[in-house]
Amino acid sequence: MLKAENLSVHFVVRHNPLVRLKHPDHTIRAVSDVSIELKNGEILGLVGESGSGKTTLARALAGLVRPSGGQVLYRGSDLQKMDAPEFKKYRREVQLILQDSDSTLDPRMRLVELLEEPLKINRHLDKAERQDLVSAIMEKTFIPPSLAGRYPTELSGGQRQRVSLARTLLVRPKIIIADEPLSGLDTILRYQLLKLMLELKEEYGLSYLLISHDLQMISSVCNRVAVMYRGKLVEVMESGNMSSAVHPYTKMLLAGLALELEEGHDLHHHAEDGQGCGFAGRCPVHLPICHQETPSLKGVSENHLCACHLA
């Protein structure tokens, strides 16, 4: 349904001496040669530590960042070749919810206005019809009517995330890309929001790309999980099969170890800046070849891909 084919997104940063030090060609390779498909009705999880390129990949899939190489295909159509009406439809059908809902909600608008806004932009409805839809979505997303007149700063983090979800649903998307939708929420609120998202998936016929640092949470709700490290996919597998993870980085994530970084570890140094596997320097089982050749993502069993020389 939504496909990245050999997708790369590079940022050229000319005036930052620190970037120049780490990337002599001034280029940060945030996403490098990524191929993955979100299938119709699927919940696909994307995990990886900070700086691994998850948000950049999400933004490219949502049409917000132009790829440096490769393609994004939506129902077989190349995003770069869509005309304006096609692209507008695409932007409506593929919605991105960001981790920081505070920045996407206009602080000058009351909750009810925030919910009416996407209906004004995307649909030709009169005031009464808009109000009916707003009331219905508030009920579905458990936003009490008593909050209708509040501003975003007068809402809790969990309420703001539900408002973001409600705004997104009002434009009737087919795909929701949710970038850390649960971050900043306590355990109970995380569980409630996740449960709500899953219930609404069936009702609205949605497919989800869920992005998170939290492999445990992601694997408990997703059909498949893609693991990203330094701009590349290192493993893609069915989430029911996580115990057969092969890549040493996925194993570290599963053991809850990978986010425990050694002091001075450079998260933002990307694999393509040197030769070999980007994980070799941290890998407990690396071989000489890991420092010489970049492993490609290849099938290790049915529906299971891994980029590791040892796989």
**What is the contact surface with ligand ATP in residues (CB under 6 A)?**
11, 13, 28, 30, 48, 50-56, 268
Q: Is 74 helix (H, G, I), strand (E, B) or coil?
A: strand
The end-to-end CA distance of the chain, in Å, is 29
**Residue 253 CB, nearest distance to ligand ATP (Å)?**
13
CA dist., res. 39 & res. 51, Å (int): 26
**Residue 154 CB, nearest distance to ligand ATP (Å)?**
27
Residue (56 or 161) nearer to ligand ATP, CB: 56
Task: Provide CB contacts within 8 A for 106, sequence distance 6+.
Answer: 114, 152
Residue (113 or 273) nearer to ligand ATP, CB: 273
Residue (117 or 273) nearer to ligand ATP, CB: 273
Please say whether the beta carbons of 243 and 301 come within 8 A. no
**Residue 293 CB, nearest distance to ligand ATP (Å)?**
23
**Residue 234 CB, nearest distance to ligand ATP (Å)?**
13
For the record, the structure tokens of 109 come out as 């608008």
**Residue 30 CB, nearest distance to ligand ATP (Å)?**
3
Map tokens 């009351």 to a residue.
Answer: 110
Residue (16 or 80) nearer to ligand ATP, CB: 16
**Residue 123 CB, nearest distance to ligand ATP (Å)?**
32
Beta bridge partners of 11: 28
What are the C-alpha distances in Å from 297 to residues 7, 237, 275, 311?
14, 12, 16, 10
Residue (92 or 268) nearer to ligand ATP, CB: 268
Assign 3-state DSSP to the chain and report helix, strand, coil percentages, each to 5: 40, 25, 35
Map tokens 């808009």 to a residue.
Answer: 130
Residue (110 or 268) nearer to ligand ATP, CB: 268
